[in-house]
Amino acid sequence: MTMFTRILIANRGEIAVRVIKTARRMGIETVAVYSAADAGAMHVRMADQAVYIGEAAAAKSYLVIDAIIKAAKDTGAQAIHPGYGFLSENAGFAERCAAEGIVFIGPSAAAINAMGLKDRAKEIMGKAGVPIVPGYMGDNQDPAFLQKQADEIGYPVLIKAVAGGGGKGMRLVERSEDFTENLASCQREAASSFGNAHVLIEKYISKPRHIEVQVFGDTHGQAVYLFERDCSLQRRHQKVVEEAPAPDMPDSMRRKMGEAAVKAAKAIHYAGAGTIEFIVDSSQGLRDDGFYFMEMNTRLQVEHPVTEAITGQDLVEWQLRVAAGEALPIAQDDLSINGHAFEVRLYAEDPAHNFLPQIGSLSEFFCDDPFVRLDTGVEAGDAISIHYDPMIAKLIVHGHDRAEAIARMRAALNRTMVAGLVTNQEFLAHIFAHPDFIAGDVDTGFIPRHLAALVPHDYALPRAVDCALALAVLLMPKQSNAAASPLAPQDPWSGGDYWRMSGAVNRFVTLKDRDGAAVELAVTLTGHGMAFDYDGEGVTAALDGSPCHAAHGSLVRLRMNGALVEGFVACEQGGRIVVVHGGRVVRFAMVDYGSAADDGAGAGRIVSPMPGRIVSLLVKQREKVAKGQPLLVMEAMKMEVTIRAGCDGIIDNLPVAAGDQVEDGALLVSIEQAEA
């Protein structure tokens, strides 16, 4: 079979853009599909053709097989690349492609089916001689029976949906008395997310590392491994940081894991890109007999760029060539590891408020670092929608060794600007500055164990240097090399810069920090700079005139108390300003001097933190509740959120019901507070 001339990409966002780039380099035309929410998206703009397939909700667009098949046939696409997520591991979709004479750029439906259910996959792997974790994977789903199995395995145990993935349908149970509640929650989420409430029970490894091996097979019976990725840094079973190779892994273990992964792939006659995920017991260090098969992802992974970085291979090109019938381009002995690579996922979420997902438009977005590979499906002016995953981009760096790669990621996070909505950027920077992470002491409990250091009490709150950088743009726009402030007057005689014919002038500026607290500054502007007091610290600052080498105009350089500091500053709509400095991200709101702080809503009045759907009500009208008691469960941005009481009292207003769609700020429940 000759190489394809036109392919359709049945996905969106950064993976669609990623596939388009490789296809374009290979001279292959691309067809994008898009929903109503993605009509102007980057992947639509980049593709050679684009086809509308339905409404914004994925269930009415990206998950509609008939619409995607029709788009492929109407445009003459010879093959479909599923990306990851959506239909990428849907055996029915792969079968339908084959029936329509369209090549599915991925494994066979039989291989997907074999690995699609965790219990069946482990049975196959066990027979193939791949190590597996002790547990129960049978058909008996009686709650009492499952609890008996868990008691016999020994706590802690994991309850896992057999059809699960991406951290959904998974619960950690540490005590027997908590099993029943967690089982019900897991089964409910599994049924909702995957249409299958069947679960398995397995032993929980106390100091686990999540290490996965990239495998690749072709239709000629060959398979290779492209080494491992350590994905141990997770939050709620969602990967946050990925690196390759795994730190401190002995060569003998690397070889043994790789050979086990190839054995797993060959057991199901696998063709295409796949990942064998292992759970590794690191309690006594990495050793040859301390890893167990967890699951296989029958698709390209989000974190594939770190493997590309250390091997010098383009895995999407490999996918296209294998799908076209070609043999693997490189033999196992020709593959080697070059250096070290990291990937982080930049999400629209607020770590200071329990990682609440964010939606909104990107007023500015860039990474001003030549050593970064930025994989993204958005740019300034695009929006992060409630309908899809809130990932903005992936930042990938490569160094000669792990220390250099860490240094490059720290620099990258300090030279990335996202304006328009809150992200996890500072949280990521704290990870790369943590001494245990730098030392390679990582496992899946790293983030919860160090959460107080990764999201400290002053997370995203201003310091004197942040105020100085912000004031440089707010009050000195004519002299600053940053983008001109929209707050600054344009008349030359009323300009907001610090030059004055008659000496110093005082300005009063009130900013609001992340929590809405007022930061009141009395600023003295002179012909040489500015001076102000902040939290008892005297600050003098002036713009530094040395040359800047930034590709973007929002870099500000100051001499502050004699030392050179620089940061990126951007102005948002509504008078907000964002400062990125020293791995920290601080957002200010500009307010009139002397204005009162906003009134709080009160602990007894609870409103929706964002648009979402009510999953279940846990209380009734006039019911007596205690502070911290769960009141209802809502689902937003693919995440289940429990709303709890902020005070003791009695429910006096409950205007929502299970199944209701609610808007941001809508009243969820009102509590008549108990008298003190």
Element (H, E) at 448: helix 446-449
Nearest to 282 by CA among 227, 230, 343: 230
Closest CA to 115 of 277, 309, 237: 277
Q: What share of the chain is helix, strand, coil (3-state, %, to 5)?
A: 25, 35, 40
How far is the C-alpha of 455 from the C-alpha of 428, rounded, in Å?
10
User: Interhelix angle for 91-99 vs 65-75, to 10°?
Assistant: 30
Query: Which residue type occupies 46?
Result: M
What backbone phi and psi angles, to 5 degrees, belong to 329? -75, -20
**Spatial separation of the C-alpha atoms in residues 364 and 576, rounded to whole Å:** 13
Could you tell me which of 586, 304, 555, 581 has the C-alpha nearest to residue 423?
A: 586
Beta strands 6-9; 29-35: pairing state: parallel
Measure the CA–CA gap between 279 and 607, rounded to whole angstroms. Answer: 40
Q: Residue 629: what are its φ and ψ, rounded to 5°?
A: -70, 135
Cα gap 225→336, rounded to integer Å: 10
DSSP strand pairing (6-9 vs 79-81): parallel
List strands edge to edge, sheet with 6-9: 49-54, 29-35, 6-9, 79-81, 103-104
d(CA 570, CA 541): 19
Is 299 marked active-site? yes
Which of 256, 271, 254 is CA-nearest to residue 310?
254
Query: Is the Cα dihedral 45, 415, 443, 227 positive or negative?
Result: positive
Task: Tell me which amino acid residue 454 is.
Answer: L
Given 96, 171, 229, 299, which residue is catalytic? 299
Q: Cα 42 to chain center, whole Å?
A: 19
H or E element in which residue 431 lies: helix 425-433
Q: What are the structure tokens assigned to 107, written together?
A: 């494994």
In the block, tokens 């374009």 appear at 24
Decide if 228 contacts 251 (C-beta within 8 A).
no
Amino acid at 222: Q
Q: How far apart are CA 10 and CA 80, in angstroms?
A: 7
Q: Which residues are known catalytic residues? A: 299
